[in-house]
Amino acid sequence: MEALPKVTQAELLERIKSGKYMLFFSADWCPDCRFIKPAMPEIEAEYSDFTFLAVDRDENIDLAAELNIFGIPSFIAYQDGKELGRFVNKDRKTKVEVEKFINELPVTAK
């Protein structure tokens, strides 16, 4: 998973304007983030039509606030720069819950 450097919302939107992206907001100190991280390579492989981007919430605190990310770990899916859906709350997330979220996204075929 590629780590997204510190970016503004405008820079992020320019980066994800074409294609399918999954933003994974987390932080090193977050125990619930550490809980889901071991499952992320398998989730990435299963949903290879998405480009997964790891977003360090602390490094991108302004971006997180602009995107209303107030709990981590959190996920936001985009297609061609438009938000498809979000799995954002303060709860621990399991692999099954993340897969359910992705499976229920209104993704258009490309």
Catalytic one of 4, 12, 22, 30: 30
Task: Give the separation between CA 24 and CA 101, rounded to whole angstroms.
Answer: 13
Does residue 36 carry a catalytic annotation?
Answer: no
**Catalytic: 33?**
yes
The two structure tokens encoding residue 47: 């949903």
Residue from 23, 33, 63, 69 carrying the catalytic annotation = 33
Task: Report how far residue 35's alpha carbon sits from residue 94's, in angstroms, rounded to the nearest whole number.
Answer: 8
Rounded CA separation 85/71 (Å): 16
Active site members: 30, 33
